[in-house]
Structure 1
Amino acid sequence: MQFNHDNMTGPLLAAELASLAADAWTIGGAERTLEWHRIRRAELSQESSERLRQWAVQLRSVFSAGNEELRYREINRLLEAGTTRAYLTTHDGLKPHLHFTSDDDDVVARVKAVTAGGLALFTVEAEGGRLGACTRAGCPQVFVDTSRNGRRAFCSAKCGNYVAVRRHRGLT
């Protein structure tokens, strides 16, 4: 399955924020993540950072859902909490794309909308799968699986190799 990476901002941002919230949340780290994903006006106050961190914790439920029906329920919950309206737009030289809340909203509202809407669109395109949490014990990372076969179990080759070496040495 081929994915258009230009349309991956929502799910990739959701994965990075959920992982950041589970590992080492800082205002600076959150701002850098938002800027990397081209979220405009990404400055965070202490209060908006905390609101965004709480949202990021909620995002994790989509990646760690035990089955597709639970994942759909979680995405619908996020859509209800994070979006206000859908509309087609172009700006900043980007191709036409959907927005799920007013561009005048604050950064947290806009991030909620782009992550909830992006997860929904990706889940439709991926036919319900391809979102996951790393299966290495103790790893807090979640991921969007854009691999060819869609059977990714680890956030990175490093985690996969760690588990394989431990299994080979009889440590698991």
Structure 2
Amino acid sequence: MVGPTLAAELASLAARGWDTDTAVAVLRDHRVRRPQLAGSMSARLHEWALQLRAPFSAMDVDSRCDAINLLLESATSRPSLSTHDGHKPHLHFAADGDDVVDRVKAITAGGLAIFTVESEGGRLGACLREGCPEVFVDTSRNGGRRYCSARCGNHDAVRRHRTPGRRRG
């Protein structure tokens, strides 16, 4: 599930404020091979990260599929099965010789597509707390996640509780 979680972290990072060192750390955390961002690569990855937000913010399944199709068009490559380094068979969405940005584009677009199929179009979201830039992959049991974290959910609940004019029993 590297593709969708990597997409969520990059999209959130782009919304919080892009930082090349943090982006490289995110790539390393997701075991992206050769994660260095030399020259214009950081700017290219940042641009891609901004585009990744669309499927998470989509209001319905059709819009989510349209957003992912646009990403797939931009990241088109030829998928292949691999068993390198003793791993079980798994898909690679990009050629090993592609630069890190092209590989990340392929990993995230392909991963979002597969995850969306498996989740029947749901389970990608943007935090509902006003002002929160985070997006997430919903792996909860019931698929009803609305906030990026319990902290944001609690913050929003307190805000609603304290809203003037709220009927008190």
TM range (shorter): over 0.9
- RMSD of equivalent CA atoms: 1.2
Shift of 1:46: 4.0
Give the deviation of 1:90 after TM superposition: 1.8
Counterparts of 2:91 and 2:64 in 1: how far apart (Å)? Answer: 22
Structure 2 residue matching 1:92: 3-state secondary structure: helix
Q: Which residue of 2 aligns with 1:77?
A: 70
Please point out which of 101, 121, 125 is paired with 2:94: 101
* Structure 2 match to 1:142: 135
Q: Give % identity.
A: 63
The answer as to 2:58 corresponding to 1:65 is yes
Aligned mates of 2:13, 2:88 — CA distance in 1: 29
Do 1:27 and 1:46's aligned partners in 2 also have CA atoms closer than 8 Å? no
Choose 74-83 or 11-20, whichever is displaced more: 74-83
Q: How many residues are paired up?
A: 165
Bigger drift between 37-46 and 107-116 goes to: 37-46
Q: How far did residue 132 of structure 1 move?
A: 0.4
Residues of 1 paired with 2:31 and 2:108: CA distance?
A: 13
Q: TM-score if structure 2 supplies the norm length?
A: 0.94
Counterpart check, 1:113 vs 2:106: yes
Which of 73, 79, 97 is the matching residue for 1:86?
79
Of residues 24, 28, 33, the one that matches 2:21 is: 28
The correspondence of residues 120-135 of structure 1 with structure 2, limited to 5 A, is 120-135=113-128
Give 1:56's aligned amino acid: A
TM-score w.r.t. structure 1 length?
Answer: 0.93
Gap regions ≥5 residues in structure 1: 1-7
Shift in Å, 1:164: 0.7
Return the alpha-carbon distance in structure 1 between the equivalents of residues 138 and 26 of structure 2: 19
- Separation of aligned partners in 1, 2:39 and 2:133: 23
Structure 1 moving runs of 4+ over 4 Å? none
C-alpha deviation, 1:27, in angstroms: 0.8
